[in-house]
């Protein structure tokens, strides 16, 4: 029974090690392929346009809410 357990453990660990080695190899090959042919498909460059609400709001309301929450928390703590 102990021999069968050790055999099963060896087969399982060998399978996992083989899969991980194969995974690393495939990822390295893919990285080399993308390094070599990556310039054929350039990433599109997009410039986000600011929305009207972002222009109007400078973040002061959010800061005031955060400071009020901190003050309320400190009052409850004593």
Residue-by-residue pLDDT tens, the chain, 78 positions: 999 999 999 999 999 999 999 999 999 999 999 999 888 888 888 887 766 665 556 678 888 889 999 999 999 987
Q: Report residue 56 as tokens.
A: 């109007």
Q: Give dist(CA 78, CA 76) in Å, integer.
A: 5
Q: Give Rg (Cα) of the chain.
A: 29
3-state SS assignment for residue 40: helix
């Amino acid at each position: 029974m102990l021999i069968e357990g050790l055999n099963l453990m060896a087969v399982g660990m060998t399978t996992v090690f083989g899969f991980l080695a194969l995974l690393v190899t495939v990822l390295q090959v893919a990285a080399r392929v993308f390094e070599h042919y990556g310039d054929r498909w350039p990433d599109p460059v997009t410039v986000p346009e600011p929305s009207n609400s972002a222009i109007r709001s400078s973040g002061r309301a959010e800061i005031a809410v955060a400071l009020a929450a901190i003050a309320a928390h400190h009052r409850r703590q004593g």
